[in-house]
């Protein structure tokens, strides 16, 4: 009893037994594979199909009700199987080899293949870039996917690839004899069938790859070779347990599952033809029989599955046909054209490769930074409960998902897996959206915790000998600031215990003392969810200041712990230096990483505004002396390096000094105008000129008449300039105001 | 060296020549070509004929026209182009030369 189906074959309806139909499919596919490198392969296949169709019609007219296996076999025998005309082809290739150098390669190759042993060629038919990998795979008889992954993973892969691309000749007729391919094995799976598939690819017990994947977990258990929690080399090496986990997930996504019988056979490396499929199905049926014997159930389901599988094979095969029609071989004529095209391709691929590499590196570094920062942020920034959950969500869905997604995409591209993965794509997108939700709610939630600001009034420190000639500021070295590992993104230095961290938010400000004694004051500031919470946090900031002779010892860092969290705690030490006294800030305060979370121009940000208002610039480890008009180094330079500016202004005065010139009311800009820094500078300069002018009046009275004219000119010029400046600044004012009001960004200072 | 291989190589070498010469007689349908060759005891698989015809057609030695058929899809009838006729003449000259040479050599061999 056989099922008969109707097929539309070359425009005619043919009733055919199902098994015969499979036979026919198989045959035509073998032809298609055989003629894959032929120029007019579609036409050839079409002609053959037409002929077969014609023969079918003859049979049907002869009285048969449908096409049977015998009919198909007879036709195939007449037509010949690819194996039958293999030898004929080789001689025909030799005949046609004078047509082009391409063909020459082909015949040479086949010659080599049969008697001289193998030669390495690039596989032009099966290429993604230059066919190097698939050529190597064909040479060694392995799955090109493996060679591609090795090239991708190894560091010198790209260079080696380019060199091989240039020097290895291409070939159009390379056939990778191995029909074994890497699949996930759904029948022997524990998690995703990855290990089982690898095992059957390498012909080893699936427990071997499983064990290799498990080693990191076992070693994790025994703590072998675990140096630090998340140092860089460990993160990528397999000795770090999540490493193999991630590798597993990527392989899971990349390697296709062997769902159909033909794929399962390919997985095991058996030759895919009808007989082996039949055998395998029969084998499975037998197993079913055993199971039926054992359980007496499940049969219908299983058989249904078989049928489905057969249908799937058919479906896939037809899809393959379609694909092959599209990839009809194109050959360009002319050697020069070929060279130009090749060069252009190399160039294009090089650029594309660079971009892809940059994206991957960028993603990796984002992921590594995020993972590196994560424990510190989790411990010292995010509150327990919801925020921790959101932080994990952000890490996994917002950062890890796109990284894995893009890596998967690239590997799939390289492995030439074209199966429709709409489900996977949408789940990636969905998870990433979830990641966004986590990320935004985390920011909002953390932002709330930073809402209020608390600061006490500066707390004066009484000095033992405030009038001493000089003061050295030294750090108290009672804290171990040593960092762990060479790869550290954490904003916090780890303390002696796991739940404390040091944060070096200590700033030292030097001002001029109004009296003749040193004055030191400490200002503590912090954020918090509420005013009260911030106040509590403020009281928890411990900051030690002590003095011995002319040395002031102050803490270099603030301690924070996991319960109180980091809420922008920071300390500002103001040292007022009397005129004529010396000050030195020890180098130990250098290299601090100032950490602060919060929006940029948030109005109520006190230390930000204090930053350069009354403090002087200085360098660590240098002695300074305070003078009337600022802080100077011992060899007489200003600490802020503005000497040049002063000199310039004096010269200006000499050139255009008007004796007896009045205060130059005309120089003044409209006071109603908005104040602008540019304008301020201009005004200052003018005022300085004016005062200098006054002091030099006496000396220069003689030259008055000569200079008057030039001065007037200069005056006019300056007027014009100021007018222009006013216009420009008014414009700038408008635009910049808009900008600043919108500028509200989440920024982290490290 | 196996005899089958050498024999088939020899046969295949003149295949194009034979096909062209059949088509030269008049428009031909592939299965007709097969029949003629079979009757001349030159067995060839249909599967090898089609690619050969396509190659010759792509080299512009052959051309074809569609003919409606009452049994199945329309048929392709092949005929020689001018270029193909020229090519055939060249092949023929080569063949005669070769056959003469082979005959002379093997004929000598036969005479001890």
∠ CA A273-A278-A283 to the nearest 5 degrees?
130
Of B5, B47, B69, the CB nearest to A85: B47
Cβ within 8 Å, pair B48-A47: no
Tell me what the mean pLDDT of segment A281-293 comes to: 64
Cβ within 8 Å, pair A48-B45: no
Q: Does position A541 have pLDDT exceeding 60, yes or no?
A: yes
Chain B neighbors of A38, CB-CB under 8 A: 51, 54
Chain A neighbors of B70, CB-CB under 8 A: none
Cβ within 8 Å, pair B71-A54: yes
Q: Does position A5 have pLDDT exceeding 80, yes or no?
A: yes
pLDDT score of A613: 53
Average pLDDT score over chain A: 68
User: How many other CB atoms sit within 10 Å of the CB of residue A94?
Assistant: 18
Q: Bigger pLDDT: A386 or A298?
A: A386
What is the per-residue burial (b if ≥16 Cβ within 10 Å, else e) of A334-345? eeeeeeeeeeee
Backbone angles phi, psi at A455, to 5 degrees: -150, 140
Task: Round to whole Å and give the CA distance between A351 and A112.
Answer: 36
Cβ within 8 Å, pair B50-A47: yes
Task: Round to whole Å and give the CA distance between A510 and A631.
Answer: 9
User: How many other CB atoms sit within 10 Å of the CB of residue A44?
Assistant: 23
Tell me what the mean pLDDT of segment A655-674 comes to: 43
Q: A741-745 — which CB contacts under 8 Å span 24+ positions? A: A743/A600, A743/A601, A744/A599, A744/A600, A744/A601, A744/A602, A745/A599, A745/A600
Q: Which of A145-154, A598-607, A652-661, A674-683: highest mean pLDDT?
A: A145-154
* Count of A-B CB contacts under 8 Å: 90
Task: Round to whole Å and give the CA distance between A467 and A208.
Answer: 78
Of A43, A78, A96, the CB nearest to B46: A78
Task: Round to whole Å and give the CA distance between A718 and A662.
Answer: 16
Instruction: List pLDDT tens digits, range A181-198.
Output: 777 877 777 777 888 887
Chain B nearest C-alpha distance from A140 (Å)? 28
- Cβ pair B79, B64 in contact under 8 A: yes
Chain A nearest C-alpha distance from B106 (Å)? 24
Using the 8-state DSSP alphabet, how is residue B20 labeled? H
Cβ within 8 Å, pair B51-A35: yes
- Cβ pair A503, A555 in contact under 8 A: no
pLDDT score of A662: 43
Task: Round to whole Å and give the CA distance between B54 and B74.
Answer: 17
Of B15, B47, B54, the CB nearest to A80: B47
Tell me what the mean pLDDT of segment A374-389 comes to: 73
Task: Round to whole Å and give the CA distance between A522 and A473.
Answer: 14
Chain A nearest C-alpha distance from B102 (Å)? 20
Cβ within 8 Å, pair A57-B55: no
DSSP A617-685: P--TT-EEEEETTEEEETTS-BTT--HHHHHHHHHHHHHTPPTT----GGGPPPTTSPP-HHHHHHHHH
For the CA atoms of A599, A604, A606, A609, what is the dihedral angle to 10 degrees? 80
Cβ within 8 Å, pair A78-B30: no
Chain A nearest C-alpha distance from B90 (Å)? 15
Cβ within 8 Å, pair B45-A10: no
Of B13, B45, B52, the CB nearest to A80: B45
Nearest to A508 by CA among A552, A477, A542, A548: A552
Instruction: List pLDDT tens digits, range A690-715.
Output: 777 777 766 666 666 667 777 787 77
First to last CA, chain A: 79
Chain B nearest C-alpha distance from A145 (Å)? 32
Q: Bigger pLDDT: A251 or A153?
A: A251
**CA distances for A272 relative to A19, A69, A181, A277, A323, angstroms:** 16, 19, 12, 7, 19
Cβ within 8 Å, pair A54-B72: yes
pLDDT score of A87: 52
Tell me what the mean pLDDT of segment A417-444 comes to: 79
Nearest to B87 by CA among B6, B37, B7, B19: B19
Instruction: List pLDDT tens digits, range A321-368.
Output: 545 444 443 444 456 767 777 777 777 778 877 777 777 777 777 777
Chain A: residue whose CA lies nearest to B35: A78
A40, A42, A51: best to mutate for the B interface, most B CBs within 10 A: A51
Task: Round to whole Å and give the CA distance between B12 and A84.
Answer: 13
Cβ within 8 Å, pair B30-A51: yes
Q: Bigger pLDDT: A146 or A417?
A: A146
Strands, E assignment, chain B: 62-67, 75-80
Tell me what the mean pLDDT of segment A119-127 comes to: 70
Q: Does position A310 have pLDDT exceeding 70, yes or no?
A: no
Out of A111-120, A513-522, A610-619, least confident range? A111-120
Chain B neighbors of A98, CB-CB under 8 A: none
Instruction: List pLDDT tens digits, range B49-103.
Output: 888 888 888 888 888 888 887 777 888 889 989 988 998 898 889 889 988 998 8
Integer-rounded Cα radius of gyration of chain B: 16
Query: Would you place residue A492 in the very low, low, confident or very high pLDDT band (cuts 50, 70, 90)?
Result: low
Task: Round to whole Å and give the CA distance between A438 and A397.
Answer: 8
DSSP A415-457: HT--S--HHHHHHHHHHHHHHHHHHHHHHHHHHHHT-EEEEPP
Chain B nearest C-alpha distance from A416 (Å)? 29
Q: Does position A663 have pLDDT exceeding 60, yes or no?
A: no
pLDDT score of A262: 66
Chain B: residue whose CA lies nearest to A96: B55
Residue B62's SS3 state is strand
Instruction: List pLDDT tens digits, range A211-262.
Output: 777 766 655 544 444 444 444 344 444 444 455 666 777 777 767 777 766 6
Instruction: List pLDDT tens digits, range A24-61.
Output: 888 888 888 777 777 777 888 888 888 888 888 888 88
Query: Would you place residue A21 in the very low, low, confident or very high pLDDT band (cuts 50, 70, 90)?
Result: confident
pLDDT score of A390: 83
Query: Would you place residue A290 in the very low, low, confident or very high pLDDT band (cuts 50, 70, 90)?
Result: low
Instruction: List pLDDT tens digits, range B29-64.
Output: 888 888 888 888 887 788 888 888 888 888 888 888
Residue A55's SS3 state is helix
Chain B neighbors of A29, CB-CB under 8 A: none
pLDDT score of A742: 42
Cβ within 8 Å, pair A79-B45: yes
DSSP A231-294: -HHHHHSTTSHHHHHHHHHHHHHHSPB--SHHHHHHHHT---SHHHHHHHHHHHHHHHHHHHHH
Query: Would you place residue A272 in the very low, low, confident or very high pLDDT band (cuts 50, 70, 90)?
Result: low
Task: Round to whole Å and give the CA distance between A735 and A742.
Answer: 11
Instruction: Count CA atoms closer than 13 A to A299's CA, side-chain side.
Output: 10
pTM exceeds 0.80, yes or no: no
Cβ within 8 Å, pair B48-A80: yes
pLDDT score of A201: 76
A103 contacts: CB under 8 Å, gap ≥ 6: A93, A96, A97
Chain A neighbors of B16, CB-CB under 8 A: 95
The percentage of residues in chain A with a pLDDT greater than 90, rounded to a whole number, is 0
Alpha helices, DSSP H, located in A381-421: 386-393, 401-415
pLDDT score of A558: 77
Instruction: List pLDDT tens digits, range A456-468.
Output: 677 777 777 777 7
Q: At what angle do helices A41-61 and B46-58 cross, to 10 degrees?
A: 140
pLDDT score of A741: 42
Task: Round to whole Å and give the CA distance between A277 and A26.
Answer: 11
ipTM: 0.83
Helices (H) and strands (E) in chain A, counts: 24, 20
Q: Does position A6 have pLDDT exceeding 70, yes or no?
A: yes
Out of A11-15, A44-48, A81-85, A196-200, least confident range? A81-85
Tell me what the mean pLDDT of segment A62-91 comes to: 76
Cβ within 8 Å, pair A88-B48: yes
pLDDT score of A653: 43
B32, B50, B70, B74: best to mutate for the A interface, most A CBs within 10 A: B50
The percentage of residues in chain A with a pLDDT greater than 70, rounded to a whole number, is 57
């Amino acid at each position: 009893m056989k099922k008969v189906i109707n097929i539309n074959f070359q425009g005619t309806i043919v009733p055919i037994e199902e098994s015969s139909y499979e036979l026919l499919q198989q045959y035509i596919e073998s032809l298609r594979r055989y003629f894959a490198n032929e120029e007019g392969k579609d036409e050839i296949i079409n002609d053959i199909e037409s002929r077969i169709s014609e023969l079918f019609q003859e049979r049907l007219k002869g009285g048969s009700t449908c096409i049977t296996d015998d009919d198909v076999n007879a036709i195939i025998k007449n037509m010949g199987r690819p194996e039958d005309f293999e030898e004929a082809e080789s001689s025909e290739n030799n005949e046609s080899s004078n047509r082009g150098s391409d063909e020459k390669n082909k015949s040479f190759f086949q010659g080599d293949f049969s008697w001289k042993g193998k030669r390495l060629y690039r596989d032009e038919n099966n290429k993604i870039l230059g066919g190097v990998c698939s050529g190597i795979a064909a040479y060694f008889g392995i799955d090109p996917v493996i060679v591609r992954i090795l090239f991708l993973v190894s560091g010198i892969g790209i260079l080696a690839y380019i060199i091989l691309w240039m020097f290895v000749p291409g070939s159009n007729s390379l056939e990778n004899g191995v029909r074994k391919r890497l699949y996930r094995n759904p029948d022997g799976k524990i998690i995703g069938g990855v290990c089982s598939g690898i095992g059957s690819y390498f012909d080893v017990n699936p427990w071997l790859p499983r064990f290799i994947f498990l080693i990191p977990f076992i070693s994790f258990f025994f703590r072998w070779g675990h140096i630090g929690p998340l140092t860089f080399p460990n993160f990528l090496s397999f000795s770090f347990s999540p490493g193999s986990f991630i590798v597993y997930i990527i392989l899971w996504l990349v390697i296709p599952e062997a769902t159909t019988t033909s794929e399962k056979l390919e997985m095991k490396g058996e030759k895919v033809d009808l007989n082996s499929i039949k055998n395998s199905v029969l084998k499975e049926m037998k197993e079913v029989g055993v199971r039926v014997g054992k359980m007496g159930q499940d049969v219908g389901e299983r058989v249904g599955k078989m049928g489905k599988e057969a249908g799937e094979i058919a479906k896939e095969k037809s899809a393959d046909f379609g694909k092959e029609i599209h990839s009809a071989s194109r050959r360009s004529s002319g050697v020069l054209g070929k060279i130009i095209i090749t060069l252009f391709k190399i160039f294009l691929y090089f650029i594309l490769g660079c971009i892809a590499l940059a994206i991957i590196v960028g993603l990796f570094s984002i992921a590594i930074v995020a993972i590196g920062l994560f424990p510190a942020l989790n411990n010292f920034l995010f509150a327990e409960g919801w925020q921790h959950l959101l932080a994990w969500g952000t890490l996994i869905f917002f950062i890890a998902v796109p990284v894995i997604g893009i890596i998967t995409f690239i590997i799939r591209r390289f492995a030439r897996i074209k199966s429709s993965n709409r489900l996977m794509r949408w789940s990636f997108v969905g998870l990433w959206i979830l990641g966004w939700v986590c990320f935004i709610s985390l920011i909002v939630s953390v932002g709330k915790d930073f809402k209020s600001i608390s600061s006490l009034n500066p707390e004066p420190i009484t000095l033992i000998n405030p009038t001493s000639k000089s003061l050295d500021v030294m750090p108290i070295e009672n804290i171990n600031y040593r960092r762990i590992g060479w790869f550290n993104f954490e904003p916090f230095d780890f303390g002696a215990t796991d739940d404390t961290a040091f944060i070096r938010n200590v700033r030292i400000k030097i001002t001029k003392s109004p009296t003749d004694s040193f004055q030191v004051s400490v200002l503590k500031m912090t954020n918090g969810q509420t005013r009260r919470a911030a106040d509590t946090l403020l009281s928890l900031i411990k900051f030690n200041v002590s003095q011995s002779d002319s040395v002031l010892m102050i803490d270099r860092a603030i301690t924070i712990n996991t319960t109180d969290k980091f809420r922008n705690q920071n300390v500002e030490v103001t040292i007022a230096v009397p005129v004529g006294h010396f000050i030195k800030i020890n180098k130990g305060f250098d290299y601090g990483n100032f950490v602060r979370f919060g929006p940029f121009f948030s109005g109520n940000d006190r230390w930000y505004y204090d930053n350069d208002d009354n403090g002087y610039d200085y360098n660590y480890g240098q002695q300074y002396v305070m003078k009337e008009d600022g802080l100077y180094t011992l060899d007489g330079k200003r600490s802020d390096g503005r000497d040049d500016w002063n000199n310039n202004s004096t010269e200006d005065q000499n050139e255009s000094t008007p004796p007896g010139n009045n205060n130059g009311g005309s120089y003044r800009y409209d006071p109603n105008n908005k104040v602008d820094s540019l304008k301020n500078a201009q005004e200052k300069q003018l005022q300085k000129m004016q005062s200098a002018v006054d002091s030099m009046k006496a000396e220069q009275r003689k030259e008055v008449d000569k200079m008057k004219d030039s001065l007037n000119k200069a005056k006019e010029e300056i007027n014009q300039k100021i007018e222009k400046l006013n216009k420009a600044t008014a414009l700038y004012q408008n635009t910049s105001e808009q900008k600043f009001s919108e500028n509200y960004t989440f920024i982290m200072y490290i | 060296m196996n005899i089958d291989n050498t024999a088939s190589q020899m046969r295949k070498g003149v295949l194009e020549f034979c096909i062209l010469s059949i088509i030269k007689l008049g428009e031909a349908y592939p299965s007709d070509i097969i029949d003629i060759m079979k009757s001349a005891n030159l067995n060839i698989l249909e599967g090898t004929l089609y690619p050969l015809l396509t190659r010759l057609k792509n080299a512009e030695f052959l051309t074809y026209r569609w003919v409606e058929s009452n049994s199945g899809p329309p048929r392709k009838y092949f005929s020689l182009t001018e270029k193909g006729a020229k090519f055939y003449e060249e092949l023929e000259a080569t063949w005669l030369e070769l056959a003469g040479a082979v005959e002379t050599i093997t004929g000598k061999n036969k005479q001890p």
